[in-house]
């Protein structure tokens, strides 16, 4: 049986998703909890690996097991052994291996939440990014339009990226503002390592007036990471989750989406 889970987590305390020798990752904590619940070791496959400090609202993972449990039991039973900042949100079961959390995904979505303020975050520290410079929404929207479509995103790729190709397709970038908080929504077929954080650095350089759209277009075309803006902090970055063909009946929303600014 293939069991599919939706997992939400606050990434501040963890070294990203992928398992590490020190065990201080989300995957390590989740697999430990699953093992305690099922009483056998279980390995998971995720839809998209997140970096140190990055949060997730609906990370989708799958695992294979002969163990029979109700879907609600997989949720509540696993959560019993998870720390407070990680929780399974839902479960789906498949009788075969036709669904794959990573390869069946049609696309992935990220949101970056940013505070524009002369004063740094306090209550929301670790949950939002920060710009002390005023930002121009129209300039950022025009810059974002330059990034849409299929491009070689080498200029926004980490040197540690293991993706076989830097060519990705960004389907949309939406900007909204509520009070002092900006929300940047990214939708693409896939993302490179640090890609969203590097794009944020570029968009904010344009939005603050230190760079212009022509610079961003040249950076994108030049495919040279050294010409781009610095990588923006992970604090405000949320992996909203992947999306799939509706035939799989995989949830795309979890309650925390109603909380996110």
Contact yes or no for 7/88 (Cβ under 8 A): yes
3-state SS track over the chain: CEEEEEEEECHHHCCCCCCCCCCCCHHHHHHHHHHHHHCCCCCCEECCCCCCCCEEEEEEEEEECCCCCCHHHHHHHHHCCCCCCEEEEEEEEECCCCCCCCCCCCEEEEEEEEEECCCCCCCCCCCCEEECCCCCHHHHHHHHHCCCEEEECHHHCCCCCCCCCCEEEEEEEEEEEECCEEEEEEEECCCCCCHHHHHHHHHHHHHCCCCCHHHHHHHHHHCCHHHCCCCCCCCCEEEEEEECCHHHCCCCCCCHHHHCC
User: Annotated catalytic residue: which of 51, 64, 136, 245?
Assistant: 51
64 labelled catalytic: no
> What is d(CA 80, CA 63) in angstroms, rounded to the nearest whole number?
18
Candidates 88, 79, 43; CA nearest to 64 is 43
Active-site positions read 51
């Amino acid at each position: 049986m293939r069991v599919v889970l939706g997992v939400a987590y606050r990434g501040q305390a963890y070294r990203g998703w992928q398992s590490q020798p020190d065990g201080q990752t989300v995957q390590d904590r989740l697999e430990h909890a699953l093992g305690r619940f099922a009483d056998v070791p279980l390995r998971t496959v995720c839809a998209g690996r997140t970096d140190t400090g990055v949060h997730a609202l609906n990370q989708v993972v799958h695992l294979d097991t002969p163990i029979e449990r109700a879907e609600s039991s997989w949720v509540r039973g696993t959560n019993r052994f998870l720390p407070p900042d990680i929780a399974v949100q839902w479960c789906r079961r498949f009788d075969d291996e036709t669904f794959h959390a990573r390869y069946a995904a049609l696309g992935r979505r990220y949101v970056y939440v940013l505070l524009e303020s002369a004063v740094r975050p306090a209550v929301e520290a670790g949950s939002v990014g920060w710009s002390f410079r005023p930002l121009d929404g129209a300039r950022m929207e025009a810059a974002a339009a330059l990034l849409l479509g299929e491009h070689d995103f080498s200029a926004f790729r980490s040197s540690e990226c293991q993706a076989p190709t830097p060519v990705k397709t960004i389907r949309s970038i939406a900007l909204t503002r509520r009070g002092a908080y900006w929300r940047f929504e990214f939708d693409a077929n896939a993302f490179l390592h640090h890609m969203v954080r590097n794009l944020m650095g570029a968009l904010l350089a344009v939005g603050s007036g230190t760079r212009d759209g022509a610079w961003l277009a040249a950076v994108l075309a030049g495919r040279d990471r050294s010409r781009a803006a610095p990588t923006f902090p992970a604090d405000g970055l949320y992996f909203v989750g992947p999306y799939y063909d509706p035939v799989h009946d995989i949830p795309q929303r979890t309650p925390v989406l109603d909380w996110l600014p």
